[in-house]
Chains A and B, each alone.
Chain A
């Protein structure tokens, strides 16, 4: 990913966007071609891989594991809720910038943004619910995981609870950026939504041992699994980059270098805004800000429809293949 841009190149991009033509021929509100595939990593409860034509390549995996319930000592809520713990990691192979510790800051920013949009416990979370670095991380390499309990991000967390107050399902959402081609956040969110759609959680049977003690047993036959409840109204995010007086969508690395201000708008199926975050070091007029929020919302909703359609299509074609007994061959890295 280039880190410097010459003034001539910047001016070329700026003028292009003014008259609504971008370097690769797209208009301002056009997305690049996105390829998506679910179930690429077999040892996970659900996984998906998103590739944007410009080179961005993200692998998202969801693993459901059983863990203790996180209870808020004061209000006591959270006892009947599962958890989502998300973390983003940029592989050093993704770009020259991520050598050594270069990727730490970006990892942290993406992780925090992801956990804020997937739940409402963002910066306004009261202190005890704030993000805590997981215990295993050594102090220097701050491992960037963010605990979230309340599921304003759409996922119904109380369904994830096994024994209220004791055990629950913890969904570890890990995004791995394999290649950097601009517009990471959108790719990560598309991958997360597809991976959560692909996730199958084994059913659990809870036996009451009579003296208030409960015991549960996980049925591990592959067919008898449930899907994640409330997965349809998970948010999807659209990154709008303000260049000059206009704003564009799905910016390539070069366009990202000429961006004065970027606005990440997370919106869910019913049009509610689940998150808003500005980036880069420029200002936006309030009027333009509201206009960008509006266009981000509409674009996000149409993106969700197209994404759901392609996920359903792929699920149906997999099902048809399984019925015909053919092995479901995942293209993975061999898709050209």
Chain B
């Protein structure tokens, strides 16, 4: 058997491995029950994988932040009973145990029901958003015709949970933070949605598997036809990514939790397990938005090069998801927090117009799909100009009146 064929067969076996495994377990069940058990197995696997990803993402975040700040990060928690440190890989579980065993303090006069409901609702909505993302060629839990809309509908509901948390705490910092969070989330939902529209437009579908399929193939034999490798796709991806940062309350847009101004924002009055739920929901939201970004712009589960296709699709998805999450962490380690007016100004005066113009660029791109030969260059040039000129002009307007900072004591 030659190598290529071997690769192809192992590839296809690995590709369907999750489905095969599931069918091995549930194949003997009668039909309605089988569907139910299949769904439960799917949900359970998803939660287990994402939960583990969450646990180690917190560790990776702390380790990477540490490395960037000249320190090792958490590395001391031993594995129980064998007392082996092993780079602190047991740290997330120690954190979990600590969160569970801590006292759950509810402020006197707080709205007890809402105070309890807020983290639960937030986590529930974040998990709901995870359901529609295609994790592999055969790995989609919820197949909706309007999956993109579902994703953003469930994501919009998280704002409500943040408000509930802030209001129920009976703490003025919490309430202020909740109002801030609402302003921020609403402001950035617009560019987020607008940046998604071109991808939907080019694929001609709101179903995520179809959007991934539309990004298959390679132009010129090597350049993947992922949306991010087109001018409008690149701009859209950047807008999407920035908005995703803001939507998931990540630095540099973590104003609702700005500890220098608002203690811990809407999390001020939360402790113990409820706080852990908030934390989990934040990371789940981050994973969901990253997964969405991967699906819409980075080709989903498609392999980057033709000869790498033997690696199963879910591995590619995982690699892309992890690299996006690492960029989230990298950005958190780099940028200082914005001010509230800067935040909203950036959204309304920069991202929204850019996203609107990007819509036009994408329309141009899809209309000129038939151009070939030298016209290809014209297509690229026009599209690039349509992206770069507004970017430069809007950027100039955004930074108008801001003199370059002079540092008196630093060089």
B is bound to A: no
Q: Chain B interface (Cβ within 8 Å of chain A)?
A: none
